[in-house]
Amino acid sequence: MSLIRAVTVLNQGSSGTEVFTWYQNYAAAGWTDGIGSAATPVNLAQTGRSAQNATNTNNVVMLAFGSVIDAVASPKVVEYDIKIAQRQYGVQSLAWLPIGDLFYAKLGGFVIIPPNGTFNFRVNIGAAGQDALQLFGLAFTTGNYLAFET
């Protein structure tokens, strides 16, 4: 197991530009896609990058998290909602606590995304700008998958 990393949830299969960082730029305040989207949710059956031999081949990655962290001086996310598989959960607000150079917020409950599960994490942005919202929890995976994603 390891901490959840951007490469695990932000890279879907082998196409597109590789993403190794949590930083995103939000053009405007309001509801938007944070991690995954309704049209293309994060699919744990297709994580990693095949160009780096890190493609997940089904039943390898499971996520468990109950909080988020942010690495910017003023976190932009004020609310979130999450959809796991076909189940949509209600809107929850975030109360950010400063911890050194990071900000921490506890989610409304503990989230488990099973192997081959799908999810998307929509966010309500309070102000436009750069943000670095990160899922703070564990990725349970095989050792070779973790080694390839390093």
Given a contact cutoff of 8 angstroms between Cβ atoms, the answer to whether 144 and 36 are in contact is: no
Question: Which of the two residues, 100 and 60, has the higher pLDDT score?
Answer: 100
Give the separation between CA 144 and CA 32, rounded to whole angstroms.
Answer: 34
Whether residue 103 is predicted with pLDDT greater than 80 in this model: the reply is: yes
pLDDT, position 111: 95
* Residue whose C-alpha is closest to residue 105's, from 86, 73, 77: 77
Share of the chain above pLDDT 90, in %: 61
Which residues, including other chains, have CB under 8 Å from residue 22's CB and lie 6 or more apart? 6, 10, 71, 132, 133, 134
